[in-house]
Structure 1
């Protein structure tokens, strides 16, 4: 075995494969590990060859052919090491070039990303819709356009998200109300040849008509477009145009309305100059002057009120006022026109007396205006109904008529300044500011004015809605002397409820002396039970009752149909503002603190007649 191994090694030492192996690896080792590694491997190969050439184990190489082999290996190896060093240099330079190229590519990509980011930020901050569209060619012509880019403002014009829109065709995805054919006809030519175009588009959007100004230009086979929303400007221009038209109509109407009273005034002046004028004719002239001057004063008052409201200079003088008195004042103002046209006025007051905190003069002015409008637009012999109702939500005064009515498309405009209902068909006069003024006055009271109509020639209904919080108790009335003839005082069925027996009995005695029918109980439970069988129209109720309080008893009374219309009077020792607010919320009509002034109490009891 040793001999075989020795022969194999000898063959290996003398074989050219050994040197070929070392020679083949020299460039690779040099490139990978440097020139010193290649030189060391070369020397190792020479030493290996000398060691294993005869005589084996010695570095001496006596045979000439072995010397030639070693010399050739040394020369070739040196050349290979040198070549490896050159390859290493080339590889290093190539690596540096590749790294530089990759770095440049990374820088270029980052620059592109930064540029795209700045592009997006710039377009999004502009707040103007911006698009890029690319043509889709079919059979040699542009068949449709494709959304390739849109900024945030543009995305808001679509019902879909931007991710859905980008890449979609304008034939299937486009802003709400836009016509695909308009986009294709206007923008496709810019994709075929360089150019720029600007045009306006009117669309029917979700919020009504919209107007856009489109500026589009070619961009390397695509189209870029800016969409500017002109809707606010167009609507403002329309509003200005409408206001200007109404101003002209107002001035014409004002001239007409002022000439109407001026004509009889001038004629009356000429009549008064005539000699021998009879007293009867003179009185007639004076009445004409008074009526026509009052008409002119009314026109001027309306104009001044509108001016004050516009400048915020109109202050309401609120006070506790009986709604019945407001209605009476309004009816008195409107009565002449109602009588002149032979119209029937039906008044439906609330079930029981109602007091509110309001400007008495202004509220009566609004109600009178509604009544006169109803009379003006109702044919002679027509019917007008004034209804007053109150609940926990609001207080409503309604004026309904069976006149010419209001067409549905005009309902929203009747409260505008200088507008008139059916101006062309029914020229009834007026400046067209009455409803606008009325609406403003009611809004100053915290309420609202509404209108309803079933259509032309089907009548109309105007309603004043006041918040329930405007309801208040009647203020204390001045004491008055008892009437000399007690038989003239209306008699009532009265229930006295007080846990103080002496106070209750004393009140009962006084009321019976006044001629009233009186029942007396000393607790809230007894009052509730008694009212099931006894229909009192006036109830005097203490608040601090044992068991069921006076507040709770009042609420039960108002919730029971048979007693809901009774006049409720609080008789209590509590008189702070919050106490009065509590009794008003519970449905009391009056709030008196002990000891009660009998004159004020008697007048409060008399109001039960107004409700009946």
Structure 2
């Protein structure tokens, strides 16, 4: 038994352990041979057995030692093999990681598709790999996409048959394919440029989003088309005034021309040459804006004056078509910092367009509204309206509200020019319509900060009191009793109904039962300042639109800015010029 374990002990614990076990066996055998209990071996047969055991045991120890060496070598070889396998696996993982990083940072959708063959033909394609950019094209997680067929899982809006027809042939042969695909995705129409190639029986494909490029090409094509239409329209519009000018020239050559006929010819020449001048002015303005060479000449201008100028510009078109024009001014006189000529040009253009695209006998309305955020000037009509799909394009260069531009006339640059001019004022212009033949509204939105209190007009002598002057209710607020009473007496001489108080608190109290048309308010009041009183007046619904006139000794630009911000309509410095004050009251009263 000990002999049988010698190789195992030697292998497990080394040759010295096997040798010790062998000596122990010899010692144990000697003790159990004759004579018992003694290490002396007397009999010859016992000596032979003990010698044979020793030789065999020694051989077994040697064999176990060699076996241990072989086992160690085998273990080292196995460890080296395992280490090599681990290193190879790590290399493969690193390569796959670098592959994933490279494809994911590319930002372009990348796919690997494997064919599914039935009856010798490619029946399906299976998604086997996709990078992060590609995963974003799907409405499902990448784990669901990988392993699925393109017939069941594919990017939103993509045609499975198109993909199969274009990509499947590459799974059977080597080659490369490039083509464009139009899809209707979650973000609307999109275009992708697909580059695909065969790869050992599979197909790899890059799907590049070329939507911006395609849209730019479409925009260029549309711009080119509009340019051609513009040139044709320009030729048409220039020929229109040229025709009567030529005809009038021939008439003037005729002998015996009456004075009345000559006067008519001159009128036609002036009208037609003015029409040509307007066309050229529009073209020059567009050119200046494009080059950044157009500058505004801003000043404090009354909206009423802008409306008057705009109506005068559009009057010939409005009257020629028999339209009814309603002008609704803001309840309070309002002045803004703007280029009067350019703002009137924009509003006149909107009125002319409304008249042009409204059937004869139509209704046009010009209105002004204001709140804490903006000032809105609008032109409404009951004309042909604008279809919803055309609203976004009408402010583009060479665009026409009505495609039948030869009948309506115009170069298609008026709205684009108006948009640019309003943007130079820091505002915006919008259009809305309920649809075809349901009228339209064009609105100019100017920031509330553009509202200003104008400088007083040049001082002049007070006009004589006329009995025809309309009388009004006026509230005078001034802590200087003499100044308040003197102003009250002067206004009463003109027939106005005057109430006088001497503090801001009294002014707000009296407004609960007295409704004036005009409030003359001193700024330097004790306690509650005139600025605070003005804000309180504007906050009350009953006095929100009352005409508010500042009477103060403060006349610097920053003081005027403060009064404009508080809601004053006019700002006068003491001593007040009566003529200027009467004009302010008259303009306020004239507002409906």
- Normalized against structure 1, the TM-score is what? 0.90
1:158 matched to 2:138? The reply is: yes
RMSD of the TM alignment (CA)? Answer: 2.4
Question: What CA distance in whole angstroms lies between the structure 2 residues aligned with 1:173 and 1:548?
Answer: 72
Tell me the alpha carbon deviations over residues 416-460 of structure 1, each in whole angstroms, 9 at most, x when there is no partner: 100112223762111100001101111111221111222222222
1:611 matched to 2:587? The reply is: no
Displacement, 1:320? 0.9
Q: 1:259 aligns with which of 214, 231, 239?
A: 239
Q: 2:213 aligns with which of 223, 227, 233?
A: 233
Displacement, 1:275? 4.7
1:586 matched to 2:566? The reply is: yes
Q: 1:440 aligns with which of 415, 420, 425?
A: 420
User: Where do residues 401-412 of structure 1 align in structure 2 (5 Å cutoff)?
Assistant: 401-412=381-392
Question: What CA distance in whole angstroms lies between the structure 2 residues aligned with 1:424 and 1:544?
Answer: 62
Question: What CA distance in whole angstroms lies between the structure 2 residues aligned with 1:367 and 1:531?
Answer: 37
- Normalized against structure 2, the TM-score is what? 0.93
Assess if the C-alpha contact under 8 Å between 2:385 and 2:435 holds in 1: yes
The count of residues paired between Structure 1 and Structure 2 equals: 592
Displacement, 1:51? 4.2
Displacement, 1:78? 1.9
Displacement, 1:569? 0.8
Assess if the C-alpha contact under 8 Å between 2:108 and 2:206 holds in 1: yes
Assess if the C-alpha contact under 8 Å between 2:462 and 2:577 holds in 1: no
Question: What CA distance in whole angstroms lies between the structure 2 residues aligned with 1:575 and 1:281?
Answer: 58
Tell me the equivalent position of 1:395: 375
Q: 2:273 aligns with which of 293, 304, 327?
A: 293
Q: 2:282 aligns with which of 302, 312, 323?
A: 302
User: Where do residues 122-137 of structure 1 align in structure 2 (5 Å cutoff)?
Assistant: 122-136=102-116
Tell me the alpha carbon deviations over residues 551-570 of structure 1, each in whole angstroms, 9 at most, x when there is no partner: 34334433444433321111
Displacement, 1:143? 5.3
Question: What CA distance in whole angstroms lies between the structure 1 residues aligned with 2:529 and 2:240?
Answer: 63
1:224 matched to 2:204? The reply is: yes
Tell me the equivalent position of 1:568: 548
SS at match of 1:427: helix
SS at match of 1:375: helix
Structure 1 unmatched runs, 5+? 1-19
Tell me the alpha carbon deviations over residues 520-571 of structure 1, each in whole angstroms, 9 at most, x when there is no partner: 1112333233334433211111234345443343344334444333211112
Displacement, 1:189? 4.3
Tell me the equivalent position of 1:470: 450
Tell me the equivalent position of 1:80: 60
Tell me the alpha carbon deviations over residues 390-427 of structure 1, each in whole angstroms, 9 at most, x when there is no partner: 22232111112222222222222111100112223762
Tell me the equivalent position of 2:317: 337
1:176 matched to 2:144? The reply is: no
Displacement, 1:501? 1.7
Displacement, 1:604? 1.8
SS at match of 1:351: coil
Question: What CA distance in whole angstroms lies between the structure 2 residues aligned with 1:425 and 1:597?
Answer: 54
Structure 2 unmatched runs, 5+? none
Question: What CA distance in whole angstroms lies between the structure 1 residues aligned with 2:126 and 2:133?
Answer: 18
Question: What CA distance in whole angstroms lies between the structure 2 residues aligned with 1:338 and 1:214?
Answer: 57
1:431 matched to 2:416? The reply is: no
Q: 2:81 aligns with which of 93, 101, 114?
A: 101
Tell me the equivalent position of 1:118: 98
The structure with the larger Rg is 1
Question: What CA distance in whole angstroms lies between the structure 1 residues aligned with 2:541 and 2:132?
Answer: 62
Displacement, 1:108? 0.6
